[in-house]
Structure 1
Amino acid sequence: MTTPAVVPVVTRAGSLDETTLQSGECVRRSGVSPQNSPATKIWFGRVSNGPGHRSPPHHHEECETGGYVLKGHGRIYFGADYAEFVDLFEGDFVFVPPFMPHVEVNMSTTDELVWLTCRTPDNLVTNLPDVPDTALEGFRRA
């Protein structure tokens, strides 16, 4: 009996999967995930927000989430009434704990925000009731 070959699985740039769970105007496309590879315990993809766009409040269930900003100025609102926030810039990493409600925004009204996100075990998204833009200190749409 022969053992099946173990080989890397490549997802090409133009083949990212868009059937993953989404939240509002944040567009998630997976490169390594159960949707397009044999992966069973990781979701790794590209997340983007157009200028002045944001996600609705959401959390990622039991997932641990790591993010890396490739391009732009992002902000994550969290805490009571989403009154707290952290700013992220190109080259910054962020860890978002499981079940933490948050809102992801692009603080620029002219440039796209792009980050890489890694989540275990999968891209679980639970959308929560929305809040008005005015509740998010400093945020404005394009």
Structure 2
Amino acid sequence: MSEHPKPTCKVIRGRGTYVGKQALTYVSGIAAETTGSQGICMHLLNIPPKERAKAHLHENHETAIYVISGQAIMWYGERLEEHESINSGDFIYIPAGVPHLPYNPSETETCTAV
């Protein structure tokens, strides 16, 4: 018998939340801890008005994000010297190893992204 179970499809009910390393609250989704995934991770993130994540990078994987609602500004680059305005309906690609920091400039609206 194999040491590893055969991969199969899984449905993850997004019920649990946790505070991530970037000091924002995430709704748990697809991750090594929930599915055993090795190359993909997907969570729901709500950035409250006037809040931001801590600057960070993902050394070993690229990141893809879709903004469901709201707006954000993403600072990125070696010294966070570049930035992009991000709006509802936008897709974001972040290469592995690129430092980035999302910020919600709104006074009233939460930015929600997957």
Q: CA deviation at 1:64?
A: 0.2
User: Do 1:51 and 1:113's aligned partners in 2 also have CA atoms closer than 8 Å?
Assistant: yes
Structure 1 Cα separation of the partners of residues 105 and 54 of structure 2:
15
Counterpart position of 2:10: 9
Label 1:65 to 1:33 Cα distance change in 2 as closer, same or farther (>3 A): same
Aligned residues: 111
Structure 1 Cα separation of the partners of residues 81 and 6 of structure 2:
51
Moved over 3 A (4+): 4-7
Match of 1:29 among 12, 27, 30: 27
Structure 2 letter corresponding to 1:23: Q
With the length of structure 2 as denominator, give the TM-score of the two structures: 0.82
User: Do 1:17 and 1:35's aligned partners in 2 also have CA atoms closer than 8 Å?
Assistant: no
Q: How does 1:1-142 map to 2 (within 5 A)?
A: 7-14=8-15, 16=16, 18=18, 21-24=20-23, 26-79=24-77, 81-116=79-114
Structure 2 letter corresponding to 1:18: Y
Label 1:35 to 1:80 Cα distance change in 2 as closer, same or farther (>3 A): closer
User: Do 2:39 and 2:61's aligned partners in 1 also have CA atoms closer than 8 Å?
Assistant: no
Structure 2 letter corresponding to 1:82: L
Identical-residue share of aligned pairs (%): 25
Q: CA deviation at 1:79?
A: 3.0
Structure 2 Cα separation of the partners of residues 98 and 92 of structure 1:
19
